[in-house]
Chain A
Amino acid sequence: MGLLLVPFVSFLILFFFGRKLPSQGDWLATLTGGISFILSFVIFTQIWTGTPQHFRWTWFSLGETTKTLDFSAGILLDNLAAVMLVLVTFISLLIQVFSIAYMHGDKHYSRYFAYLGLFTAAMISIILADNLLLLFMGWELVGFASYLLIGFWFEKKAAAKASLKAFLINRLGDVGLLLGLFGLYALFQTFDLTELNNSFSAQNPTISTYLTLIGLGLFCGCIGKSAQFPLQVWLPDAMQGPTPVSALIHAATMVAAGVYLLARCYAFFTPDALLIIAIIGTLTALSGGLAALFQHDIKRILAYSTISQLGFMVMGMGTGNPEASLFHLITHAFFKAALFLIAGIVIHAMHQGLNALPYHEEVDRQDIRNMGGLRRILPITFIAYLLAFGGIVGLPFFSGFLSKDAILSGAWAWAESKNNRLYFLIPDIGFISVLLTAFYMTRQLLFVFFGKFRLNLDPKTLRHSIRNEASVLMLIPVVLLALLSLASFFAVNPFNAASGWLYGGNQLMPQLPNMLLRAIAENHEIHVYTAFLSTTLALAGIAFAWFKYRNLELKIGRVASAYSAEPLNPIARFTFRQFYLNELYRFAFIKPALKLGKTVAFFDKKVIDGLLHFFGMIAVVGAKIIGWFDRIFIDGFVNLLAWFSGSLGKMGRNLQGGELQSYYLYALLGLMLVVLSILVL
């Protein structure tokens, strides 16, 4: 509990008082980050291989006293949550340290750290939640923090648009998630994960279509959050945010929340739902890899690569190997965060070097065609990049090898257990993705670090100072993360993930009767085969890229914007534009929606407004008539009365007019009256 509160308190303090704190409160954010990391590490040591802890209390109650619906809230600490906790707090701590140097001098420095605190708190609440409702709240909060951080430089129009896009697309997935939650509640009257798991082990298979739909609903949330195939378009645009944010949220933690959700709800998925999950994951892995092939933006390449790796994880889930998928989640978090932070260092260095140039405004700092030869200038960064590169490509001795191998052999065994050859497409496409990953990563490596620096500029100006290539605060996190992509942190035998502490022992998801894993363990052949094949493919990808980009045809001094923005080859352009998914959505959804909006507006204007105008006119005419009546009759009557009394008064006044002759007249009239009365009476 305290763990959850620490980053949140940091968020509140920084958000409201950040500017007044010394050095704008970065030390506070880092301190709270450190405290949460230490706390979660303590929790980890207590929980790991121990008994899961479960604290819960009643959250709120609904309904009458006779039949109340109690909603509980609580914390579920099992091995999975403990590992994820350490992962999230560790990476977020490193990234806060990195950000101190990266964001230095930014206008909204303290607000940035406040948002990071909010994000960490939300992420921890997802991990700790013991029921789906609480998890959903954390889920939404995470999305909100992501929205804030993508649009952090909201003065840039692209950033503001990207944040909106990410938020809206996530909403789309959340609708499905919400529907799934409703369905689950309708069936089992509880959101509690432990109770749900218990009910599922005792459920009857008659309602399985319904369950498939529920599972797909839950998976929709994952599609949105983890940027799976039809909805992955927001993630590349999310790169408009600050680079450490991309590392933390859009590579390591938040996008993995979808995979975490799948793992948490794994028992609820029917075989049909799992098949669809596997297909979507495979498609994502392939499409992400293809889209990354010809990108020029250093961050966009990594973003597409993230999509591809997330596809891998989801494929692992779908093919009945959630442990492998979680294992890949963890290894991927480390090396992808490292890669993004390295991209941050490179971009930062480019900024520093370019600011001295007169034409620096036009030069894209993130275009890999403007870089080159950075291995001599930034040697430590280069070595860190090589480590993370080994991880993501899946070379032996690196963590990515272990986790990818686990997923692929799982998928292979899954396909073998089916009786249809078509199922082998899924591991096959997985292998193709390995090849693609190796290709585009090598391409990036060659463009950024090899060859010669391609701008008319002394590359030495890119260094932070003469002694240091970059700020120490930036180098330490990068080196730490890059080292963690070595296999030896996860397994003693670098060729067998099952020999490690994390994977293979049924540690992460003990509630599953993991038949498949046992099958893999027994069938050693598949394992060796996949390991061999994926290594070969990775090496082939590297070699292919090496031969294609070894002699870069780009000229020194020529700015990247001088080249055409898109590849000329139509197939390459097709992948570059991400299969025109954005355009498709614009054409298929946004335009019709706008058109619908316009039609409705037209209907409103003409019909509704017309009707209103008609009634308005009637009312106005009626009012005019009444007004006329008022003026003529009522006012006339009142005026008549007034006039009458006025003239009476005037008459009375005239009696006392002071004119001598009238006095005579009155006297005479009076006299005549007297005479008349005498005569008559």
Chain B
Amino acid sequence: MVSSVVGVDFMTSRKNILSRILSQYGISLALLIEIILFSRLSPFFFTTENILNVTLQISITAIIAAGMTFVILTAGIDLSVGALVALSGVLATSVLKLPIPLIYSFPLFLATGILVGVFSGWLSAFFITRFNVTPFIVTLALMSIWRGGAYLYTGGRPVWGLPHAFSMLGGGRVAGIPLPTLIMLAVYAAAYIVLQYTRFGRHVYAVGGNQEAARLAGINTKRVLRQVYILCGVLSALSGMLLASRMNSGQPNAGLMYELDVIAAVVVGGASLFGGRGSIVGTFVGAMLIGVSRNGLNLLNVNSYIQQIIVGLVILVAVMLDQMRKR
């Protein structure tokens, strides 16, 4: 009686091919179907320029979704991300208004934005771990506070009149690929490595699977939660700064309702809101699915009321496919 193979899953070979494909690929398949559909319906969809356009469009929410994946893996949630996009955007861009050359103000801009993200994440984790308030409530409160803060700080007006060179960050291209797209890919590559191959990543899964068991296994669960919320905050701030650069202004009303798109991407990507299950690749596909839906419907000039309904249906179908996979 050695632990080695006892028997192969011979049941699976009996299942029909369709359900096997479904079980293996779930939402990736949905994405593929969607891409084929839109390619046939619009001649402008499957073009290099539009593919780059889609990746550019989703980059902002997808970067946040990478951070949100970590949070949701720990059975948490962060509703403050959209407001944080606005707050980090307006605070960071206001640094660029200082009468110093961009070479000096740009690092300061980055530092300010990231600091805002770190602070927000730290504060969320502080209330969650110290006072045992549920993440939903803590981050709901912060969402309101940061949004109000962004309006208050700017008096409701955008921060504008920024140096033109600043728009290179969000608008620039390297080898023809938009910079935000490249940053997004880098973030996902890093997140994948961290989740799959580092102790921290393993701890994130463990804390989400069973927090008390993780603690008793010697994991500093509070530290893991702190790191996770800070990571999500920093990535939201990074998105906020990229978005500000793309608009060459800090908009206090930027990122409205982003939290819902972001959470949808993570959940469509197969993560469980109860923690412990999910993957970064899934989140990426989830973000693509939602982004491609929006883009394709816009290309087809579908009425915006109908668009909302279709995007909702896409989310439902994707989650349903994922449930069938788990059966």
A and B pair up: no
Residues on B close to A: CB < 8 A?
none
Residues on A close to B: CB < 8 A?
none
